[in-house]
Chain A
């Protein structure tokens, strides 16, 4: 830290451990209220009406032309982030936009999101050869498609970045939500993506409309290299996670 800045910085008081703990406990009440308000907001998102996507959209992918339906990769839900990577964007052709690149760095391991029947894809007007080079350089793993038509204009992302969430019923596609601007700041974690989707985290505690798929909280978790080997929750993990939760609740009582 800059020495000058450090001397000018007005810092909070230094207190004894007990006082620190008391102050932290007080703030914890607000933290919990904040977490609940995030849950409530996600519940409202799940009650948004859906919009049928009637038009056919075409993208270029690593293996050639694909449709919006193909972007789902067989899963039920799809999130498309429109990243700025094209001629005219700062950094082209070596880099994508700095903000979009920071966002891409935050994308958590996709095995977890995929395990909740949800696919994340990035899309930009840049040709596939540039996208392929960029991904290799930056170490990014998410599928990244080339926009070839009015997809960006139709979904509010031709001038500014944003996340569009979709769900499908067979071949029928619906747009379920849209996040842009500062809403994009919070994206990247598995939870942030699931909270954006029509079905949410798909856990039993959630306030979702009737009939929504829901499984026991946290039990679907697996190591990112072990989902394929183990389709359903490992009974030992269920036991360990239940015991851990009980111990924590007792300790906090």
Chain B
């Protein structure tokens, strides 16, 4: 853990006000905060209205218990979110940026699992590498290898840094409902 001394400690001068004035400034900004919260809801609404794309092809991945299909990845739930974690077949450890993102997954995942959503990661590296790295980092989320599968390129993510896709399963068919990249 870095000490405070290791970080830039340039003096920042800033306007300091009494309590009442501070509360007033915060209340003014609160209106903008609420606007933002409502914009977030409107955004999620738009996302839910996006058309779906049927996934016609069969994809096969390598997981903890051997070969699995895209359908298996849902683990019996109706929705699946896949994070494309950059971990090349030749690499000895995962991308630091993706590892940073993955440090966010396990906590919320317990709640998602109980909300009919499976959240997991897919990488190019062979499964044995993913399993070893997962142990080092203390992660618990499901993680499969797409080595030898064209899932990544078909989902237009072969060369991108990080990507999340969200297919949705209805009865026997699977549809892609959303895709998000970079920020």
Contact = CB atoms under 8 A, between A and B. Distances in A.
Contacts of B13: 211
A211 B11 contact: yes
A231 B4 contact: no
B2 A115 contact: yes
A218 B162 CA distance: 13
A17 B159 contact: no
B59 interface: no
B105 to A, nearest CB: 9
A213 B100 contact: no
A227 B132 CA distance: 20
Interface residues of B, number: 71
A27 interface: yes
Interface in B48-79: 48-54, 78
Given A52-B16, A178-B26, A251 B159 contact: yes
Interface string B77-113: 0100000001000000101110110011001101100
B84 to A, nearest CB: 13
B152 interface: no
Given A14-B175, A50-B16, A108-B104, A41 B2 contact: no
A41 B17 contact: no
A247 B11 CA distance: 38
Interface stretch (A5-13, A63-71, A85-93): A5-13
Contacts of B26: 48, 177-178
Interface in B1-46: 1-4, 6-19, 21-22, 25-26, 29, 32-33, 36-37, 39-40, 43, 46
A111 interface: yes
B140 to A, nearest CB: 10
State the main secondary structure of chain B at its contact with A: mixed
Contact of B15 (A49, A75, A212): A49
B122 interface: no
Nearest to B55: A17
Contacts of A179: 33
Contacts of A228: 1-2
Interface in A148-195: 167, 169, 174-175, 177-179, 182-183, 185-186, 188-190
Given A20-B52, A213-B7, A251-B160, A41 B12 contact: no
Contacts of A224: 99-100, 103, 137
Given A12-B50, A49-B17, 10 more contacts: A27-B46, A34-B43, A37-B39, A50-B14, A51-B17, A111-B103, A182-B37, A185-B37, A202-B8, A251-B159
Interface of B: 1-4, 6-19, 21-22, 25-26, 29, 32-33, 36-37, 39-40, 43, 46-54, 78, 86, 93, 95-97, 99-100, 103-104, 107-108, 110-111, 116, 136-137, 156, 159-161, 170-171, 175-183
26 contacts: A1-B78, A13-B51, A14-B51, A20-B51, A20-B52, A23-B50, A34-B39, A45-B29, A48-B22, A48-B29, A49-B16, A49-B21, A49-B22, A50-B22, A105-B107, A106-B107, A109-B103, A109-B104, A114-B1, A179-B33, A182-B37, A211-B13, A213-B7, A215-B8, A231-B2, A248-B159
